[in-house]
Structure 1
Amino acid sequence: MASASPSARSAATTDPTGATRPRNRRQLIVEAAGRVFSERGYHAASMEEVAAGVGITAAALYRHFPNKYALFAECADVMVDGLVTALDAVPPGAALADVFAAATRITVAHRASGGVYRWEARYLSREDRRRLGARFDRLAERVDEAVQREHPRPDERLRAMAALGAIGSITMHHTSIAQRRAEQLLLASALRVAASDPAAGPQGAHLVVELPAQPVPRTRRAQILAAAIPLFARDGFVSVTNGQIAEAVGLTPSALYRHYPGKIDILAAACLQAAGLLAQGVERSLREVAGPYDGIVALAATYVAYSFEYTELNSVAEAEVAGLPTGLRRPLVLAQREHIAVWEQQLRLVRPELDPRQARVLVHAGFGVAVEAGRRFRWQDTPGHREAVTALVVSALGL
């Protein structure tokens, strides 16, 4: 069906009777808002951007949602509610593959807006976070029941959450791939994670990863950065004030400007530090690997070790990079692409049947597994936790 002409869309937005207004206008708004919030972050997004994405005026948008927060809260609900509804439609006792297939279909269908729940939900009110968390707990319980029924292990939802991390990873990147193919890759990845034995560790290699040490903050500039990272991780970049950062290092707010032009430059420095530490760790870990399989295990062990050792720094870099201006974000995007390219090369040597896009989707699935499994362990850094998460990541990749 041909799309409406600009004049027709204009008439639809100004017609006081609403006769030509789409019946699913609210749904279209939420979908557009989810994309904007996922790509720009909650605070950087505007109601005008959302309205433009739907082809209506901001005034028309406010007839559906009184403010940006109300729209944001509904966006955060969409993915979880959709997952819960999809799983409720799966008969009790159904095969694990059916449970994961339902979750995968919904997640891929809402790919463009799904990132709202993963990172931006921290900007919800405490009551809304609690309500959303209860819904997600119900979802996780249903998934864990299916996992334990087919692959019983006393792991306290570890594999269930890791499998959901593999599925949910599709919302966190922009690799172009057909929807059906994405569903097949993620379903297979989640099933492998659920069937794995993380307590056994990764097969073939048990690596002790030596990451580069985080720089000792000897200069005032470095001290400011070190003080800002935990604040950004705890409260979110936008919520942290220059006054809080200055107080943490014993400065006046105005004194910060002698070291950084603005707060956004502190964030950019944190993201660059994260990228640099990870790149150095990868370079070290690949120096003496015997082959591509060991290379993948080394990459997985390095990423897991980095995630546990630099949890706050990593969470800031992952959650806040979208809010950086283009000029500051560009070197970080390039660093991420280089990191993914290393994984992609090693994975395709082990699994030559994969094309580059399929390999990238699976690499991101591994990252999703590491995040959700690490969260399940509350990022308590022990050798056993590192080995378990590394084993889950390797399983997600199909090795």
Structure 2
Amino acid sequence: MTAEPTAATRPRNRKQLIVEAAGRVFSERGYHAASMEEIAAGVGITAAALYRHFPNKYTLFAECANGLADGLVAALDAVPADAGLPDVLAALTRRTVAHRASGGVYRWESRYLARDDRRLLWAKFGLVVGRVAEAVRREDLPHDEQREHGEHVEHVEHGERNRQMRAVAALGVIGSVTMHHTSIAQRRLEDMLLESALCAARTDPEATVGSARLVELPVQPVPRTRRAEILAAAVPLFARDGFANVTNGQIGEAVGLATSALYRSYPGKVDILVAACLQAADLLSQAVNQNLHGVSEAHAAVATLAATYVAYSFEHTALTSVAEGEVRGLPDDVRQPVILAQREHIAVWEQQLRSARPELDPRQARLLIHAGFGVVVEVGRLLRWRDSPENRAAVTALVVGALGV
């Protein structure tokens, strides 16, 4: 008779299990708030055992980020080189949905990578963008050939930029699913993301330039109090270096105050971050109310919402990146007002999108709304947030395309 084992057998893929657990924790809590103890608990091992595989948190974090990019590249390698756009995007969609819980690492947390590691990561994502852009080009080819005898030179000049924006918009749609928790059956989730990504990739972002919907944003108030001055000084620092890396001393120096003087306006640094998130939500709410006033037709309302969100994102880039990138690192007891403000904004979108597309249920509408937000983030980054009427119009067109309106 064979004796029963006296100890559990160590899984051969323990290192991969650690990376997957770490990706989930980093995505949910952010790099700095995540702990090695929490990651170890997710695998069912001790922190000491975890350190036998990874010497520190940064090494594990870099492994997570690179694993995400490598997985996307591998998904594309499994697709024939001449595959059509639907097949290329479907492969990326399946991979992203399968790793939804850990996929959020790349969007905001990758800024904490060292410069060389970050360059390596973005080079891998560049391969993914290039593959999607090439699929877009192949799909465009019959149309391009029809234009060769007329405006060929002009078309070549802007064609590559146009295709790259469309490719990045499609990837923004797919990646958006890692940034929220809306629950939909997996097959339906994949189908909706793929459909939205295809719509974005097939939208000409330059077709509406010159006829884009004009929106106005409320003027950001001039800091006239010490509290407002501190907030205005802190936001660019948070956006550039990340909340956890900014010290009270740096904020005080930026506003010309001793560190101790900050506490008379804010009890702690986290209170400044909460104020920034709430200011972002308030400015966006004002902009939405102002631009939706008098707009009654549902499709026009969705287009207005898209144009407003794009204009807001370009005009308040630092504030937006802080509000969206740092909220997950807030303590639970102070995060709730920020979450509620964000949900109120989503509710406005949901009402208008479901009026324009009655076949959508609330969860499906929210999925598409987040897809639209993903388009703004990724294409905005591609354009380096260079603010111009043309860039705003192009991104708005891609958002509307992704929404299927």
Normalised by the length of structure 2, the TM-score is 0.92
- Deviation string 1:28-86 (CA, Å, 9 cap, x unpaired) is 11111111111111111101101111111111111111111111111111211100011
Q: Would you say 1:180 and 2:187 are equivalent positions? A: yes
Quick one: distance in 1 between partners of 2:283 and 2:55?
43
Quick one: distance in 1 between partners of 2:7 and 2:179?
36
- 1:54-93 superposed matches below 5 A: 54-93=43-82
Task: Give secondary structure in 1 for the equivalent of 2:102.
Answer: coil
Instruction: Choose from 237, 245, 262 the match for 2:243.
Output: 237
Quick one: distance in 2 between partners of 1:290 and 1:335?
24
Instruction: Choose from 363, 379, 382 the match for 1:373.
Output: 379
Find the counterpart in structure 2 of residue 348 from structure 1.
354
Letter in structure 1 aligned against 2:229: Q
Letter in structure 2 aligned against 1:161: V
Find the counterpart in structure 1 of residue 148 from structure 2.
none
Q: Would you say 1:197 and 2:186 are equivalent positions? A: no
Give, in angstroms, the shift of residue 275 of structure 1. 0.6
Find the counterpart in structure 1 of residue 31 from structure 2.
42
Quick one: distance in 2 between partners of 1:133 and 1:154?
19
Q: Would you say 1:147 and 2:136 are equivalent positions? A: yes
The answer to whether the Cα contact below 8 Å between 1:268 and 1:329 also exists between their aligned partners in 2 is yes
Find the counterpart in structure 1 of residue 93 from structure 2.
104
The answer to whether the Cα contact below 8 Å between 1:202 and 1:297 also exists between their aligned partners in 2 is no
Quick one: distance in 2 between partners of 1:370 and 1:140?
16
- Deviation string 1:139-190 (CA, Å, 9 cap, x unpaired) is 1111111111113634251111111001100000000111111111111111
Task: Give secondary structure in 2 for the equivalent of 1:198.
Answer: coil
Letter in structure 1 aligned against 2:334: L
Find the counterpart in structure 2 of residue 51 from structure 1.
40
Task: Give secondary structure in 2 for the equivalent of 1:112.
Answer: helix
The answer to whether the Cα contact below 8 Å between 2:19 and 2:63 also exists between their aligned partners in 1 is yes
- 1:326-345 superposed matches below 5 A: 326-345=332-351
Quick one: distance in 2 between partners of 1:231 and 1:355?
40
The sequence identity of aligned pairs, in percent, is: 71
Return 161-170 or 205-214, whichever deviates more.
Answer: 205-214
Q: Would you say 1:94 and 2:83 are equivalent positions? A: yes
The answer to whether the Cα contact below 8 Å between 2:24 and 2:101 also exists between their aligned partners in 1 is yes
Find the counterpart in structure 1 of residue 229 from structure 2.
223
The answer to whether the Cα contact below 8 Å between 1:202 and 1:390 also exists between their aligned partners in 2 is no
Find the counterpart in structure 2 of residue 118 from structure 1.
107
Quick one: distance in 1 between partners of 2:51 and 2:7?
18
Classify 1:348/1:202 alpha carbon distance in 2 versus 1 (closer, same or farther; 3 Å): farther
The answer to whether the Cα contact below 8 Å between 1:151 and 1:194 also exists between their aligned partners in 2 is no
- 1:380-395 superposed matches below 5 A: 380-395=386-401
Give, in angstroms, the shift of residue 290 of structure 1. 3.0
Find the counterpart in structure 1 of residue 303 from structure 2.
297
- 1:277-296 superposed matches below 5 A: 277-296=283-302
Return 144-153 or 68-77, whichever deviates more.
Answer: 144-153
- Deviation string 1:344-374 (CA, Å, 9 cap, x unpaired) is 1111111111111111111100000011111
Give, in angstroms, the shift of residue 202 of structure 1. 8.4
Letter in structure 2 aligned against 1:369: V
Quick one: distance in 2 between partners of 1:309 and 1:11?
60
Task: Give secondary structure in 1 for the equivalent of 2:243.
Answer: coil
Task: Give secondary structure in 2 for the equivalent of 1:200.
Answer: coil
Quick one: distance in 1 between partners of 2:15 and 2:289?
49
Q: Would you say 1:267 and 2:276 are equivalent positions? A: no
Could you tell me which runs of 5 or more consecutive residues in structure 2 were left unpaired when the two chains were aligned.
142-158
Task: Give secondary structure in 2 for the equivalent of 1:366.
Answer: helix
Task: Give secondary structure in 1 for the equivalent of 2:245.
Answer: coil
Classify 1:176/1:387 alpha carbon distance in 2 versus 1 (closer, same or farther; 3 Å): same
Quick one: distance in 2 between partners of 1:253 and 1:169?
38
The answer to whether the Cα contact below 8 Å between 1:108 and 1:183 also exists between their aligned partners in 2 is yes
Instruction: Choose from 254, 267, 276 the match for 1:248.
Output: 254
Find the counterpart in structure 1 of residue 175 from structure 2.
168
Task: Give secondary structure in 2 for the equivalent of 1:381.
Answer: coil
Letter in structure 2 aligned against 1:170: V
Instruction: Choose from 211, 214, 218 the match for 1:212.
Output: 218
Quick one: distance in 1 between partners of 2:119 and 2:193?
28
Quick one: distance in 2 between partners of 1:358 and 1:224?
40
Give, in angstroms, the shift of residue 255 of structure 1. 1.0
Find the counterpart in structure 2 of residue 136 from structure 1.
125
Q: Would you say 1:396 and 2:402 are equivalent positions? A: yes
Q: Would you say 1:21 and 2:10 are equivalent positions? A: yes
Task: Give secondary structure in 1 for the equivalent of 2:263.
Answer: helix
